[in-house]
Amino acid sequence: MQLFETVREMGHEQILYCHGKNPDIRAIIAIHDTSLGPAMGATRLYPYVNEEAALKDALRLSRGMTYKAACANIPAGGGKAVIIANPEDKTDEMLRAYGRFVESLKGRFITGQDVNITPQDVRIIKQETNYVVGVEEKSGGPAPITALGVFLGIKAAVEFRWQTKNLEGMTVAVQGLGNVGKNLCRHLHEHGIKLIVADFSPEKTAEIKNLFGATVVEPDEIYSQNVDIFSPCAMGGIINSQTIPQLQAKIIAGAANNQLDNERLHGQRLVEKDILYCPDYVINAGGIINVYNEMIGYEEDTAFKQVNNIYDTLLAIFDIAQQQSITTNDASKRLADERIMKARISKNQLIAA
């Protein structure tokens, strides 16, 4: 087993394997980089097919958080935690045991609510540690602001691609109508955009159909729709060798984390197909912006200004990608790497690579 090979390649600082005997708990906390500040990233609970899949998710998501905070100009580093469990088997004892592991890191890692973790679960974790954010909901939770950021990202992409600020009459396919997808649909509808939507939940699709006149399609039909924009707001890995050939959209702009199954390969395929990709960790930064601002004392103006920056940051990234003939994903990584490097230099932490 080459334990350090992957982390060296991906640049992680620390991986914590949390194992509790009573209650039985398996969780992985991945700290990618703390150059800009404490590692921030929400905790996901998921019945991973195996431990390797869980580790892979934690490693990729935590690295994404580093880039996300850096591109959003938030003084935080990147981390993420995954608890390997079935949502039905979740217990308060398990969450509290997990909270004690978070506490053991003494603030190097700050976490909150992600997939299969509810605000109530976060309150249970908080019984054991103060290093959790997003529970007070002073701001109404991160999803609405994430949706706003995605909407602004769509505007930036449309402007870059078609030199227009007018979205009226365009069609967007939205995959996933959860907390983010639903709020995004509202923004799009209010701007005269036609919606084609999919979700596993018939209640959710019916609601969006009634509220915004959306056309509902089966989950596996969402990729091939004749639309201007595809907006993945469900899970990761959905831009892959099976789905890319189906895509008719000219822009991909959505909230899901880790959208590209293989960043290099599929990022390049999108360029070849002339599809403009909004890097996930740039366009979905609304969540981290929101929780960071809650942590330092929520001021609506500051939070909204930072979310509005997503628009300008994306335009800058599209320009860099075009000028340097690189993928938009690589362009955003360069921007993040520059900011991280600067922080390391100013902290005198630059070690020879």
Ligand X SMILES: NC(=O)C1=CN([C@@H]2O[C@H](COP(=O)(O)OP(=O)(O)OC[C@H]3O[C@@H](n4cnc5c(N)ncnc54)[C@H](O)[C@@H]3O)[C@@H](O)[C@H]2O)C=CC1
Q: Is residue 215 involved in binding ligand X (CB under 6 A)?
A: no
**Contacts for 24 with CB less than 8 Å, ≥ 6 apart:** 94
Binding residue (CB under 6 A) for ligand X from 40, 143, 195, 295: 143
Residue 14 near which of ligand 3IO, ligand X, none (CB within 5-8 Å, type-dependent): none
Binding residue (CB under 6 A) for ligand X from 204, 266, 269, 333: 204
Q: How far is CA 279 from the centre of its chain?
A: 10
Active-site annotation holder among 80, 155, 204, 333: 80
Residue 7 CB, shortest distance to ligand X, in Å, is 22
Residue 301 CB, shortest distance to ligand 3IO, in Å, is 21
**Contacts for 63 with CB less than 8 Å, ≥ 6 apart:** 10, 11, 12, 32, 33, 78
The angle formed by the CA atoms of residues 351, 56 and 144, to the nearest 5 degrees, is 95
- Touching ligand X, residues 257-276 (CB under 6 A): 257
- What is the spatial distance between Cα 156 and Cα 253, in angstroms, rounded to a whole number? 10
Read off the tokens for 278.
């909004």
Interface region with ligand 3IO, contact rule CB under 6 A, candidates 22-30, 190-198, 282-290, 331-339: 282-290
97 and 21 Cβ atoms separated by less than 8 Å: no
The residues with which 39 forms a beta bridge, in sequence order, are 77, 109
Residue 200 CB, shortest distance to ligand X, in Å, is 4
Residue nearest to ligand 3IO (CB): 112
- b/e per residue 105-130 (b: at least 16 CB within 10 A): beebbbbbbbebbeeebbebbbebbe
Q: Is 45 helix (H, G, I), strand (E, B) or coil?
A: strand
Binding residue (CB under 6 A) for ligand X from 62, 139, 243, 284: 284
Q: Is residue 64 involved in binding ligand X (CB under 6 A)?
A: no
Binding residue (CB under 6 A) for ligand 3IO from 142, 181, 232, 254: 142
Residue 40 near which of ligand X, ligand 3IO, none (CB within 5-8 Å, type-dependent): ligand 3IO
Catalytic residue flag (residue 80): yes
Q: Is residue 288 involved in binding ligand 3IO (CB under 6 A)?
A: yes
> Which one, of 109, 103, 96, lies nearest residue 42 by Cα?
109
Residue 101 phi/psi, 5° resolution?
A: -65, -40
Q: Which sign, positive or negative, has the C-alpha torsion 81, 87, 91, 92?
A: positive
Residue 247 CB, shortest distance to ligand X, in Å, is 15
Residue 279 near which of ligand X, ligand 3IO, none (CB within 5-8 Å, type-dependent): none
Catalytic machinery residues: 80
Residue ranges binding ligand X (CB under 6 A): 115, 142-143, 146, 175-181, 198-201, 204, 219, 233-235, 255-257, 284, 287
